Amino acid sequence: MLEIIIFFLALLVIMLIGMRPEVVKSYPEIKVAEKATSENKFLEHLQQKVEVTIFPRPSDATLNRHYNALIKEKLDTHLSSMPNS
């Protein structure tokens, strides 16, 4: 009985090793996530740059919503003035 269990475990290990190239094939998908992360960091940096030029973020929920709309408008203005690359 022990031999049968060891045999099936060996088969399972062989199958897992055989599946490894499929994992390696999906590696380029990770690079896409890194690219998106760098774009997010750029947008976060641009947002911080815009927030420095205007008044501090309010604590009131309504004023905070208007503040976010103002930030979005200024970000859109900055992004539309940049050359397409």
Place of tokens 């008044």: 55
Is 71:50 a contact under the CB 8 Å cutoff? yes
Give CA 38 to chain center in angstroms. 8
Longest dimension (CA), the chain: 75
Q: Which domain holds residue 24?
A: 2-81
Residue 26 DSSP one-character state: T
Whether the pTM exceeds 0.85: the reply is no
Domains contained in the chain, number: 1
Give, to the nearest 10 degrees, the angle between helix 61-81 and helix 27-53.
110
- pLDDT tens across the length of the chain (85 residues): 888 888 878 877 777 776 655 545 544 555 555 666 777 888 889 888 888 888 888 889 999 999 999 999 999 998 888 887 5
